[in-house]
Structure 1
C-alpha cells in the first residue's frame, strides 16, 4: 500500500457459519465479499446508489487479497476502506480486515474501481460530486 491513501469507510460484518471451508476457516472467496460489501456501503453512503438501473456506476476491474491470518467462526470482521487520488474515471481502493477485539491484521487487499456507463460498458468520468468527496 505504497500510494497515498485516506481512510474513507469502516464497517463491521458478522462471519456466518457457512463462510467457513473444509479447513474450518473463512474461505478465501469470502474475503472478497467482505471488501465488496464495505466498498458498496462506502459509495452508497456518499449518495451514489450501486444499481445497474442508474445508467452508470462503479465496476471493479481488478482485485487482490493477501491472507495473513485465518478468520474463524464465530467472529465479526472489521473492514477498513481506503481510497487514493481519483483519476479521470478510476480510483484505487485498499482494504484492511481485522477481527473485532484483535488488533492483528488478518488480510489486506486492493481493487481498482472504474466508473462505467452500464449501456456501453465503457468508462466515463467519475461524477464531480464523488470526485469532490475523494
Structure 2
C-alpha cells in the first residue's frame, strides 16, 4: 500500500451465507461489493448522493483485489478505506479487509474514483469539499 494515504472510513459488514462459493469461502466477486459499500458509505457521509439523478457523480474506472486469506461464514468483515492525494477529477482509494477480532490482513484492494457528469460521461473537477477533505 502507498504511504501517502489517509484513513477515511472503517466499517463492518456481516458475511452472509450466500456470500460463499462452492469452495466454502467468500466468493471473490463479493470482496468488490464490500469495497463498494465502504466507498458509498464514505461518500454519503460526506453528503454526496450516489445516484444517477445527480448532476455530477463518482464512478470507478478500475478496481483490483489481492486475496490473502479466505474469509468464511460466519464472520464480520472490517473494511478500512484510504485515499491518496486528489488529482483534477480523480482520487485513488485503497481498501484493507480484516475479519473482526483478527488483525491479520485478509485482502487488500484499490479503485480509482473519478468524478463525472452522467449526462456527458466526461470527467469533471472533484468537488471543492471533497478536495479539501482529501488534502487536509
Secondary structure at 1:86's aligned position in 2?
A: coil
Note the alpha carbon deviations across 1:32-83, whole angstroms, 9 max, x for none. 0000000000011011111110111110000000000000000000000000
Could you list the structure 1 runs, at least 4 aligned residues long, displaced by more than 6 angstroms after superposition: none
Does residue 86 of structure 1 match 2:80? no
Distance 2:74 2:124 in 1: 42
Partner of 1:60: 60
Partner of 1:127: 127
Distance 2:63 2:113 in 1: 9
Distance 1:20 1:77 in 2: 13
Note the alpha carbon deviations across 1:16-36, whole angstroms, 9 max, x for none. 000000000000000000000
What RMSD in Å do the two structures reach over aligned CA positions? 0.7
Equivalent residues in 2 for 1:1-134, closer than 5 Å: 1-134=1-134
Note the alpha carbon deviations across 1:90-132, whole angstroms, 9 max, x for none. 0000000000011100000000000010000000000111111
What is the deviation of 1:2? Answer: 2.7
Distance 1:28 1:2 in 2: 23
Distance 1:104 1:3 in 2: 19
What is the deviation of 1:3? Answer: 4.8
**Gaps spanning 5+ residues in structure 2: where?**
none
State the TM-score, normalizing by the size of structure 2.
Answer: 0.97
